Amino acid sequence: MCREHFISGCYEHIENYQRRMQEQAFREATAESLRSFLLSCTRQAIDLAQSLDDLQNLERARLLDILMRASDLARHLRRSPRKEAVVPLQLRCEKLGHAWEENVQTRVLSRYGALLNCRQEAETGDMLVVQRRDSARETRARVAWCHPLPDSTRDIGIELLNCDNFWEMDWDQGDPTIHEPEMALKFSRARKGERSRSVEASTPPSGPSHR
């Protein structure tokens, strides 16, 4: 697909979804379709903006406008529930000049992503290959946000690009919604508590010496 067709197609789909979101008939099936479109549209728009050197200023401006409109649509979607769960993963970044891989574990899952901690210098917007070490299932994901920590690791939120129940969980059971920054803060505090207990355990007890 040429750039002009991609840009005009994105505008057409965005305007169509904006109209449908204003209707009472906007159902979950439409929301799933919108999520899929937003992920594809955002990924391709970013790739175009970063990989092509011959983009005209007008084309760059239109791509930026598409990204802003897509972000606005995403904010209106109902968030999926969050569940605390440990799933062993291998993350692989294939970015030119900064390739890496690391084995990690999830801490919180959502239908469309996860919160986890990693040692690598992942950056917002990085594209990752995510493989489950328990089942070998594989998909691609985008780093949605990063939160550097004092121990030189970072909490990251990943957004799955193929939302086909990658976690193999029942999402119809209504768990309380947990927002990513709140959960990241929770686990940061937990880690601080663990480090504090570790220091206390390694410190010799004070008291009178016995000869």
Residue 11 covered by a domain: yes
For residue 143, what are its two tokens? Answer: 């780093």
What is the pLDDT at residue 18?
Answer: 79
For residue 113, what are its two tokens? Answer: 């992503």
What is the pLDDT at residue 39?
Answer: 81
* Per-residue pLDDT tens digits for 136-145: 999 999 887 8
Secondary structure string (H, E, C) spanning the chain: CCHHHHHHHHHHHHHHHHHHHCCCCCCHHHHHHHHHHHHHHHHHHHHHHHHCCCCCHHHHHHHHHHHHHHHHHHHCCCCCCEEECCCEEEEEECCCCCCEEEEEEEEEEECCEEEEEECCCCCCCCEEEEEECCCCCEEEEEEEEEEECCCCCEEEEEEECCCCCCCCCCCCCCCCCCCHHHHHHHHHHHHHHHHHHHHHHHCCCCCCCCC
What is the pLDDT averaged over residues 125-139?
Answer: 92
Residue 132 covered by a domain: yes
Spatial contact of 122 and 154, defined as CB atoms under 8 Å apart: yes
Shared-domain flag, residues 34 and 95: no
Spatial contact of 36 and 163, defined as CB atoms under 8 Å apart: yes
How far apart are alpha carbons 130 and 86 in whole angstroms? 15
What is the pLDDT averaged over residues 105-129?
Answer: 89
Shared-domain flag, residues 41 and 120: no
For residue 141, what are its two tokens? Answer: 């994901």
Residue 202 covered by a domain: no
What is the pLDDT at residue 179?
Answer: 39
**Which CATH number goes with the domain that contains 99?**
2.40.10.220
How far apart are alpha carbons 78 and 171 in whole angstroms? 13
* Per-residue pLDDT tens digits for 4-45: 888 898 999 888 887 777 664 555 556 667 777 888 888 888
How far apart are alpha carbons 94 and 129 in whole angstroms? 8
Q: Which of 75, 107, 124 is the last residue of a domain?
A: 75
Please state the pTM of the whole predicted model.
0.50
Shared-domain flag, residues 188 and 140: yes
Higher local confidence (pLDDT), 182 or 167: 167
What is the pLDDT at residue 186?
Answer: 47
Q: Which of 75, 101, 132 is the last residue of a domain?
A: 75
What is the pLDDT at residue 32?
Answer: 63
**Banded pLDDT at 80 (limits 50, 70, 90):** low
Q: Which of 54, 75, 96 is the last residue of a domain?
A: 75
Number of structural domains found in the chain: 2
**Banded pLDDT at 171 (limits 50, 70, 90):** confident
